[in-house]
Amino acid sequence: MKRRTTLVLTGVLAAALTVPALADNLEDSKAKFEEAVQSVMTTDNHLMMEEGITFDIPEAQGTAEELEELDDSNSAKWHYYEYIDWDESEDAEFPASPADGSIGKHVISIVHGAHAWTTCYMEAFEQACEAVGMTVDIYDPNWDQSVQDGYIDQAINEGPDAIAVIPLSADHARQQFKNITDAGIPAFCTNTTPAADAMNYILAYTGPNDWYQMRNLGAALGEKLGGKGGVAYITHNVGGSPYYARLYGPMTELADKYPDIKTLDIQSPGFEAAAVKQVVSDWITKFGDELNAIVLADDSDQAIGTAEAIEAAGRDDIIVVAAGISKQGAELIQAGKLYMASYQSCQADAGLCVRTIAQFFNGEEIPRVSYIKTDLINQENVESFLPCQW
Amino acid sequence: MSDQNKTVLSPKTDTRKTEVNKGILLFNRMGIWVITIALLILGTIIAAANGGHFFDKSNIQSILEAVALYGMVAAGLFYVTYSGNWTDMSIPLTMAMAGMLTVQSINLGFPVALLIGIATGLAIGMINGFMIGHLRANPIIWSWGFNLLLSGIIRVGWGGKQLYADTVAKQTDFAQHSAQTFYSISRTYIGGIISLMAIVMLCMFVLSYIIHAKTSFGQKLKLVGSNYEAARFSGINCQKIVMMGYMISSTFAAVGGIFYTALRKTASYENGTGYDFTCLTCVLLGGTLLSGGKGSVLGTFGGVLAYGILNNILSWIGIGTYTKYAVQGMVFLLIVFINTYTERKLGRS
């Protein structure tokens, strides 16, 4: 009897001490979060952990199968590519927020593969986690799907407080996030858009809105062209989400607003400057004066190859726009060889993900999908985006 | 001895076919050049059908520039394949490392940085050559492993970041001028017609041709590539010959890597990705046997040109990326088939 009384008293005492401690941790976490949002900056002097952009998904004009029948230049065709339009009624049972504060929480981040962008992203992720009192381990599968799957299993076994993943494949994402959510661990998807059905197992997605920024770029190009001319496209890697967004985003925007602008050709030579240079040189020879503008999926190697080909041909009348922004791209804008690039902050991408995770631990409501802010960069405003992040 | 006996004892007539089909011989001797000429004719027709001129200055310029970097590397890789060691899988990171060290040492001045970059290739070639030539390590496994090691060194050494010459260069006129000179080597046009990259590629092929055809090293390499043991018993220092082959290959790859880095204005561990297989394709298209001992520098040059001309023709036609891959694959397989078929018909394989 005496022993039981002692145990009960110990339990009550522990609870009495823990509850205020948890409450203190939550208050401290919220304060730290507010400070981080206001003070952590990207290397190009923008807020790293700003609130993301959210919007209501417009209604699709048909089923995915019906929309596939539409012409490529019809924006309605790409609804299910553009919006993560998942069925919420099929959502898995997500772990509830502990609402005890982000301080002391441990996160595992699994990226896609080694690249200078990824290095920049990882550093920003670590910086943002530190700012809100979380610790992080980052795993890099070096672009190998099976290695990424292995890291997800390993991360689940380690039992962190949350797992954030940049999925290597949109289609493969469903099983990855299902495994995490089934293990009772909060799953966050970042940067790369997952397939719609994967969203049923994702607590929140954060990342860039490629379609939106490329549509803006397309609109700006159409205006610069005066509503007429011929445009050729160099794409991202065929099949990935940036391929669709950076090709059909501007193409459909131009078709909607400027029907007199025609598509001359679409090529996917990859990201090697020499290969892109040959494609653009061949276009200049083949299309001559009909070629008025080029849309690029990348403002570094693709933009360099394009600028070199245009310069070699002495065609300074060709307008080039690209998704960005890299150091090479910024220099080309300054030199007047690249008319415009979209701004997609690598560090804000990491910052928004960490922000969302921290808000979850702080017991706040988090949006299922939120996007980082974007902008269009030209010769007039490029200085405010320097030095480039990677 | 009677006449009847004479008939019985007379030697039998050799009825085996010794005549060589002239077409097959022509294909075998001319090799890739037959295909290259056919592609040139095809290109002329297709360009004309599209209202253009295939032999237009800008189009020829485009073809040469597109293959310049591949050509620089293939001109050296030929020696590895010709020596009977298949290929050098460390080509990509040799190119990357040469670019990284050139940029990293840009403050010493452009000529010194350039020499450091080239010396990097030479050093990598010496290590590869020692392991594969002297210690007879498996050329694929070793060079692949070495590629991985170099990748790790670059990633750890520079923290996974890219290097920019103008950022690495100190804020002095001398250093910044060195950085700009470095960038300019891939953007210079001689007489406003032909790029420096294309000229360097042509010079490297000439140098490679002289080494192969006019030196005792070239003759010895043929023997080593054809039959290593026979060459060894003939008194040839096979280990040294193989090592020299690797040194030439890596040095040429380093030059390609330096131009590649200057073109994209960025030194990174990903520079040179894919060059191992593309350049090997060019070498094999040129008629060099993967098993070694047969092939020529001129053939490799033809392989490089065929690669560029085919890409150019496909752009003229305007077909999509997927179809392009399929056509490229078919043409390359056709060339390999012709090479193999004519070798067999001539009893050389």
ipTM of the complex model:
0.83
- Write the residue in B68, B270, B315 that is nearest to A282 by C-beta: B315
The enclosing H or E element of A275 equals helix A273-287
Considering only the beta carbons, identify the residue of B52, B155, B264 that sits closest to A285: B52
Closest Cβ opposite residue B161 in set A119, A275, A277: A119
Judging contacts by C-beta atoms under 8 Å, the chain B residues touching residue A238 are: 321-322
User: Distance between CA atoms of B242 and B250, rounded to whole angstroms?
Assistant: 12
Q: What is the mean pLDDT of chain A?
A: 92
| Order of all β-strands in the sheet with A204-207 | A135-139, A106-110, A162-165, A187-190, A204-207, A369-371
- CA B126, CA B118: separation in Å to the nearest integer? 13
Structure tokens at B157: 């050494």
Cα separation, B89 vs B131, in Å, equals 14
Identify whether the C-beta of residue A226 lies closer than 8 Å to the C-beta of residue A260: no
A5/chain B closest Cα distance in angstroms? 59
pLDDT, position A190: 96
A97 CA to centre of own chain = 24
Contact residues on chain B for A279, CB-CB shorter than 8 A: 315
Helix (H) or strand (E) holding A342: strand A340-343
Q: Which residues of chain A lie closer than 8 angstroms to B195, CB-CB?
A: 312
Instruction: Give the mean pLDDT of A105-125.
Output: 94
- Report the chain B residue with the minimal C-alpha distance to residue A308: B187
> Rounded CA gap, B238 and B132, in Å?
11
Peptide bond preceding A387 in cis form (omega within 30 of 0):
yes
Contact A282 B50 (CB under 8 A): no
For residues A10 and A109, give the distance between their C-alpha atoms in angstroms, rounded to a whole number. 38
pLDDT band for position A2 (50/70/90)?
low
Using a CB-CB cut-off of 8 Å, the residues of chain A touching B200 are none
The total of other beta-carbon atoms located within 10 Å of residue A16's CB is 10
* Range in A52-56, A274-278, B337-341 the model is least confident about: B337-341
User: Structure tokens of B120?
Assistant: 């990097």
Over residues A16-40, the mean pLDDT reads 86
Q: Tell which of B62, B151, B158 to mutate to test the A interface (max A CBs under 10 Å).
A: B62
Asked if A349 and A381 count as a contact pair (C-beta separation under 8 A), the reply is: no
Across residues A137-149, what is the average pLDDT?
94
Per-residue confidence (pLDDT) for residue B1, from 0 to 100: 45
The chain B residues in contact with chain A (CB within 8 A) are 50, 52, 56, 58-59, 61-63, 65-66, 68-69, 155, 159-162, 164, 167, 187, 189, 195, 260, 263-266, 268-270, 274, 308, 311-312, 315-316, 318, 320-322
Interchain CB distance below 8 Å, B321 and A238? yes
| Closest chain A C-alpha to B170 CA, distance in angstroms | 16
CA dihedral A263, A268, A270, A272 (to 10 degrees): -60
Taken in order of first residue, the domains within chain A and their CATH numbers are 65-208+347-373 (3.40.50.2300), 210-343 (3.40.50.2300)
Three-class HEC string of chain B? CCHHHHHHHCCCCCCCCCCCCHHHHHHHHHCHHHHHHHHHHHHHHHHHHCCCCCCCHHHHHHHHHHHHHHHHHHHHHHHHHHCCCCCCCCHHHHHHHHHHHHHHCHHHCHHHHHHHHHHHHHHHHHHHHHHHHHCCCCHHHHHHHHHHHHHHHHHHHCCCCCECHHHHCCCCHHHHHHHHHHHHCCCCEECCCEEHHHHHHHHHHHHHHHHHHHCHHHHHHHHHHHCHHHHHHCCCCHHHHHHHHHHHHHHHHHHHHHHHHHHHCCECCCCCCCHHHHHHHHHHHCCCCCCCCCCCHHHHHHHHHHHHHHHHHHHHHCCCHHHHHHHHHHHHHHHHHHHHHHHHHCCCC
Residues forming a β-bridge with A234? A267, A296
**Cβ within 8 Å, pair B62-A278:** yes
Q: Hey, of B58, B161, B278, which one would you mutate to test binding to chain A, going by the most A CBs within 10 A of its CB?
A: B58
Taking contacts as CB-CB distances below 8 angstroms, the residues of chain A near B266 are 300, 327-328
- Using DSSP, state whether A135 is helix, strand or coil: strand
Q: Give SS3 for A20.
A: helix
Q: Is the pLDDT of residue A336 over 60?
A: yes
Answer whether B263 sits within 8 Å of A309, measured CB to CB.
no
Q: Which amino acid is at B143?
A: S
pLDDT-derived band at A13 (thresholds 50, 70, 90) equals low
Q: What is the mean pLDDT of residues A347-351?
A: 97
The string of pLDDT tens digits covering residues A75-102 is 999 998 899 888 889 999 999 999 999 9
Among candidates B69, B304, B315, which has minimal Cα distance to B195?
Answer: B69
The pLDDT assigned to B22 comes to 75
pLDDT in tens, A201-242: 999 999 999 999 999 999 999 999 999 999 999 999 887 788
Tell me A49's DSSP state.
S
Count interface pairs A-B at CB distance under 8 A.
Answer: 91
What 3-state DSSP class applies to A364? coil
The answer to whether the Cβ–Cβ distance between B59 and A268 falls below 8 Å is: no
CB contact under 8 Å between A328 and B265, yes or no, is yes
Q: Which residues of A touch B278 (CB under 8 A)?
A: none
- Nearest chain A CA: its distance from B111 CA (Å): 24
Task: Using CB atoms within 10 Å of the CB of residue A251, give its burial: 0 to 12 exposed, 13 to 18 middle, 19+ buried.
Answer: buried
Distance of CA A1 to the CA centre of its chain: 61
Backbone φ and ψ for B266, nearest 5 degrees, come out as -145, 130
Amino acid found at B340: T
Tell me the pLDDT tens digit for each residue of B94-124. 999 999 999 999 999 999 999 999 999 999 9
Distance from CA of B138 to the nearest CA of A (A): 26
Q: Which residue has the tokens 């040189």?
A: A281
Region class of A229: left (phi > 0), else alpha (psi between -120 and 50), else beta = left
Q: Average pLDDT of A343-351?
A: 96
Query: Is residue A189's pLDDT more than 60?
Result: yes
Angular region, A207: left φ>0, alpha ψ -120 to 50, beta rest: left
Of the partner residues A119, A284, A304, the one whose CB lies closest to the CB of residue B265 = A304
Helix/strand/coil for A157: helix
What residues of A are in contact with residue B315 (Cβ under 8 Å)? 267, 278-279, 282-283, 286
Q: Which of B161, B263, B312 sits opposite A274 (nearest CB)?
A: B263
Of A119, A235, A285, the CB nearest to B56: A285
Torsion of CA A362, A363, A365, A366, to 10 degrees: 50
Distance from CA of B86 to the nearest CA of A (A): 26
Contacts of A155 by beta carbon, 8 Å cutoff, 6+ apart: A108, A110, A139, A163, A180
CA dihedral in degrees (B59, B60, B64, B66; nearest 10)?
10
Helix (H) or strand (E) holding A119: helix A116-131
Nearest to B58 among A118, A267, A313 (CB): A313
The phi and psi torsions of A272 (rounded to 5 degrees) equal -100, 125
Instruction: Name which CATH class applies to B32-40+54-340.
Output: mainly alpha
* Residues of chain A contacting B, Cβ within 8 Å: 114-116, 118-119, 235, 238, 265-269, 272-275, 277-279, 281-286, 300-301, 304, 308-309, 311-313, 327-328, 331, 390
What does the DSSP assignment read for A187-246? EEEESSPPPGGGGGG-SEEEE--HHHHHHHHHHHHHHHTTT-EEEEEE-SSTTSHHHHHH
- Residues of chain B falling short of pLDDT 70: 1-11, 14-18, 20, 348-349
- In Å, how far is A285's CA from the nearest CA of chain B? 7
Calculate mean pLDDT across residues A239-256.
93
pTM here is 0.86
Q: Quote the CA–CA distance of B262 and B250 in Å, as a whole number.
A: 18
**What are the residue ranges spanned by the domains of chain B?**
32-40+54-340
Rounded to a whole number of angstroms, the distance from the CA of A89 to the nearest CA of chain B is 38
Cα A99 to Cα A290: distance, rounded to the nearest angstrom: 60
CA distance A308 to chain B (A): 8
Structure tokens that stand for A375 in this block? 């902008």
pLDDT average, residue stretch A147-152 = 96
Residues A328, B189: C-beta atoms closer than 8 Å: no
Query: Cβ contacts (< 8 Å) between B66 and chain A: which residues?
Result: 274-275, 277-278, 281
By C-alpha distance, the chain B residue nearest A269 is: B321
CA distance A169 to A237: 12
Position B5 scores a pLDDT of 53
Contact state of A119 with B56 under an 8 Å Cβ cutoff? no
Rounded to a whole number of angstroms, the distance from the CA of A287 to the nearest CA of chain B is 9
Whether residues A267 and B50 touch (CB distance < 8 A) is answered with no
